[in-house]
Amino acid sequence: MSEKYVSPSQGGCWFCHTAPEDKPMLFDIEFDTYVHEDCLRKALEEEPDHPEAGIMAYLLED
């Protein structure tokens, strides 16, 4: 797995700033950025009041 820094404005995850090829990414239209599902879940678990993660939580709904 290749995990190098990739800016969110260049397709990297909003939270971890990487774009590994074997991890699926979700696209958030509010921030116009990609995010890994597990990074979003981790952000919500570690900081329930995280402002960006709170807005992006809709991506986890079925």
> What's the pLDDT tens digit per position in 47-59?
999 999 999 999 9
Residue 28 pLDDT: 95
pTM over cut 0.75: yes
Confidence grade of residue 1 (pLDDT, cut at 50, 70, 90): very low
32: containing domain: 8-60
pLDDT of residue 19: 82
Count up the domains in the chain and report the number. 1
In a domain, 18, yes or no: yes
Whether 41 is in a domain gets the answer yes
The contacts found for 28-32 with CB under 8 angstroms, 24 or more apart, are 28/55, 28/56, 28/59, 30/55, 30/56, 31/55, 31/56
pLDDT at residue 25 greater than cutoff 80 = yes
Q: Which CATH number fits the domain that encloses residue 20?
A: 3.30.40
